[in-house]
Amino acid sequence: MRISVSILGADFSRLGQEIADVERAGADWIHVDVMDGHFVPNITFGPNMVSSLKKCTKVPLDVHLMISEPQKYIPAFVKAGANWITFHMESEGNPVQTIAMIHGLGAKAGIAINPGTPAEAVFPYLSMADMVLAMTVQPGFGGQKFNAAVLDKVRLLKAKAPSVPIQIDGGVNPETISQAGAAGVDICVAGSAVVGKPDYAAAVTALRKAAESVAD
Ligand code: DX5
Ligand code: ZN
């Protein structure tokens, strides 16, 4: 199980230090939640921010675009240093073209689906995508409750395409990560379960332990 730590709940006035702390805590990836105030009712980072973050860490940047018209902004985010770009099926644009654009720019492509979108919506793109993100909360805010029903979609996706990594995002904590591990999730995004805790390293270790206890 890989852990991608979301910095949505970090102290933005000292983001460089926060990123260093997350890296030292053992995060596999750093998850950057990009929100435009239109696709979701919240506003966060732009490409300039990603480019500054890139200078602070060697950990891969997992950029989650919760924005309308993702194709307009993908080149700027990849140029800024995004290693992974995940866009939403519910946003505009042709997913085949969007994935091809991300690959053409040299990044890995993920497709995200909201809790209400069926797994079947991404079936036509499974052979192109590098990852599928099944949202376990409605996107927009950290600290929401995990929707365990989404794990049925994860099982469906794993049965259909066992080699495509599945990520979940929202409400991950030591209890829910063990359910996710049992369902076959490969990458968990964790926000408040790490950045909301006083000791980031202890928090990442607790998540890893809980995830591994299922795998054994
Ligand atoms: C929600 C974001 C998540 C969020 C997760 O819209 O996509 O990445 O930061 O936060 P927690 O882990 O607190 O649910
Ligand atoms: Zn996210």
Percent residues over pLDDT 90 in the chain: 98
- Spacing of C-alpha 33 from chain mean position: 8
Structure tokens at 100: 């091809």
Domain covering 2-215, topology = TIM Barrel (3.20.20)
pLDDT at 28: 98
Beta strand ranges found along the chain (DSSP E): 2-6, 29-35, 61-66, 84-88, 108-113, 131-135, 166-169, 187-190
Residue 214, C-beta contacts closer than 8 angstroms, at least 6 positions apart: 178, 181, 182
pLDDT of residue 213: 84
C-alpha 36/C-alpha 87 separation (Å) is: 13
**Ligand 1 neighbourhood includes 140 CB (under 6 angstroms):** yes
For the record, the structure tokens of 171 come out as: 């409400």
Closest C-alpha residue for ligand 1 atom 4: 142
- pLDDT band for 136, please (50, 70, 90 cuts): very high
Contact, 168 vs 185, CB < 8 A?
A: yes
Please report the DSSP string for 10-53 in residue order. S-GGGHHHHHHHHHHTT-SEEEEEEEBSSSSS-B---HHHHHHH
- Cβ(60) – ligand 1 distance below 6 Å: no
Query: In whole angstroms, what is the distance from residue 120 CA to residue 123 CA?
Result: 5
Please give the distance, rounded to the nearest whole angstrom, from the Cα atom of residue 172 to the centre of ligand 2: 11
pLDDT band at 159 (very low <50, low <70, confident <90, very high): very high
Which residue in 213, 207, 187, 185 sits closest to 195, CA to CA? 207
Q: Which atom of ligand 1 is nearest to the CA of 8?
A: 9
* CA distances in angstroms from 60 to 4, 39, 57, 170, listed in the order given: 9, 25, 8, 20
The torsion angle over the Cα atoms of residues 93, 97, 98 and 102, rounded to 10 degrees, is: -160
Q: In testing the pocket of ligand 1, which one of 189, 194, 200, 204 has its CB within 8 Å of the most ligand atoms?
A: 189
128 Cβ contact partners less than 8 Å away, ≥ 6 residues apart: 96, 99, 100, 109
Distance, in Å, from the CA atom of 128 to the CA atom of 87, rounded to the nearest integer, reads: 14
| Ligand with smallest separation from the Cα of 41 | 1
Question: What mean pLDDT comes out for the span 21-35?
Answer: 98
Q: For 31-83, how does the pLDDT look when each residue is reduced to its tens digit (9 = 90+)?
A: 999 999 999 999 999 999 999 999 999 999 999 999 999 999 999 999 999 99
